Amino acid sequence: MESRQVKDTGDDELISLFEVSRIFDRSIDAMRKYRGLRLIEPSKRVGRKDFYKKKDIIYAKYLIEKKLQEGKKLHEIAEDLRRSEDELDAATEHINKKSKKILIIEDLELVQKIIQRCLRQCFPEGQLDVYHAEDGLGGIKYARKALPDLIVLDLALPVLTGDKVYEELSSDPSLAHSKFIIISANIEYKPQGTEFLGKPLKMALFIKAVEKLTGLKALPNRSGCTDTSQILTPNFC
């Protein structure tokens, strides 16, 4: 029988394929199939055995089960994941080191677009780069790739909720410089050092929070910034 787990040099627990199969409640053969499709990937090799980060496996399980419930096949899920990784690489390939990088983690496309449009119209061109992710796991991957100065984080996210995303990113040494604006329609969640804004978003307050956390200065003319309350009701924000 495989050794169940080892400890990495960091805080992340590394587990064997046997333990992965227990988390997924699937056979070892099924996990080997997942590995072949690159739905799960080892983080470390010890001798002839591969080990996996437990957190990554738990997140992968959430994502795969959600996709399966949507009627997707395993090979389709694998293709979706590869495509999203390619898009992430393309989006972050030419990062401007002189600009401020802002990551929006929000699953509602319309709210996401309002925020992006407001940022681009309210700040001078070339001073910021804006990225977005539509679920918690994607947000973590984007953050670790882009290393944003500011993360706009919705609490109600698919795959992984915003509070869990915050816990993961705020404990990552590579993101120690990142600031957070947390947004929610129903729950107030304001860890120390973060800004919290309720939904519907009042964009004037949002821009002030961006200025405070990034050091950027907004343009005087902010006609492009529309409160989300004018587009969506609170129940849909």
> What CATH number should be reported for the domain whose range is 5-74?
1.10.1660.10
Answer for the pair 53, 23: CB distance below 8 angstroms, yes or no: no
> What CATH number should be reported for the domain whose range is 96-231?
3.40.50.2300
Answer for the pair 234, 185: CB distance below 8 angstroms, yes or no: yes
Which pLDDT score, from 0 to 100, does residue 233 have? 38
Task: Report the predicted TM-score, pTM, of the whole model to 2 decimal places.
Answer: 0.74
Structure tokens at 5: 């787990």
Which pLDDT score, from 0 to 100, does residue 140 have? 92
Confidence of residue 96 (pLDDT cuts 50, 70, 90): low
What DSSP letter does each residue of 119-168 carry, written as one string?
A: HHHHS-TTSEEEEEESSHHHHHHHHHHH--SEEEEESS-SSS-HHHHHHH
Give the start-to-end residue ranges of the domains of the chain. Answer: 5-74, 96-231
Which pLDDT score, from 0 to 100, does residue 62 have? 84
Which pLDDT score, from 0 to 100, does residue 103 have? 96
